């Protein structure tokens, strides 16, 4: 079984959001949250100022990434570029559970 790798997906948003695009935003968020819970998407960032959306994706191949992003509701409205990452460092904050006892 191939080893999981990380890919950066760089999406370019449309210049203007059509009513169809806007109507699909909740479905996009639901699918992204599902993929994050399944550890398929490690991070997801949006910059409306620059018209960009970025995602770090955990996958075994670029084909798996392509299939994943093509299943996102908004992907048909955006251009995307995929790059295999050599590494991706991130800070993970661990929250301790408080006991009320």
Classify the C-alpha dihedral 37-93-53-24 as positive or negative: positive
User: 60: pLDDT confidence band, cut at 50, 70 and 90?
Assistant: very high
pLDDT tens digits, one per residue of 9-56? 999 999 999 999 999 999 999 999 999 999 999 999 999 999 999 999
Domains, the chain, in order of start with CATH, read 5-84 (3.30.70.1060)
Neighbours of 58 (CB within 10 A): 18
């Amino acid at each position: 079984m191939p080893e999981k790798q990380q890919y950066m997906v760089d999406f370019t948003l449309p210049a203007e959001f059509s009513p169809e695009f806007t109507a699909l935003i909740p479905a996009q968020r639901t699918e992204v949250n599902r993929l994050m819970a399944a550890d398929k998407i490690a991070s997801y960032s949006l910059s409306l100022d620059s018209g960009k959306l970025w995602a770090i994706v955990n996958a075994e191949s670029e084909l798996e990434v392509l299939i994943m992003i093509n299943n996102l509701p908004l992907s048909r409205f955006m251009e995307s570029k995929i790059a295999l990452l050599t590494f991706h460092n991130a800070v993970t904050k661990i929250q301790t559970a408080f006991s009320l006892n």
